[in-house]
Amino acid sequence: MSELSRGYKAARIDPKDNTDVIEIKILYAQLIDEIEQFKSKNPREASIAQTELESSLHWAVKALTS
């Protein structure tokens, strides 16, 4: 069994979520994974960008489910 990427771990995709939430979480997971590639050049900035995306994901899900 393969391990989940950093983005997919952060997004916590649950098959029980509604379709819109799953789609948004997948997009965020892909962005977080894309930024992971920059960590060797600028680790601090890449980590901050990933953290900000995780925060944004939280609010996006709230907006979809409230």
Amino acid residing at 25: K
> 2 is written with which tokens?
């393969």
Query: In this structure, are residues 55 and 44 in contact, taking their beta carbons and an 8 Å threshold?
Result: no
pLDDT tens digits along 23-59? 999 999 999 999 999 899 999 999 999 999 999 999 9
Give the residue-averaged pLDDT of 2-22: 95
pLDDT in the model for residue 1: 57
Query: According to the model, what pLDDT value does residue 45 have?
Result: 96
Instruction: Identify the pLDDT of residue 2.
Output: 76
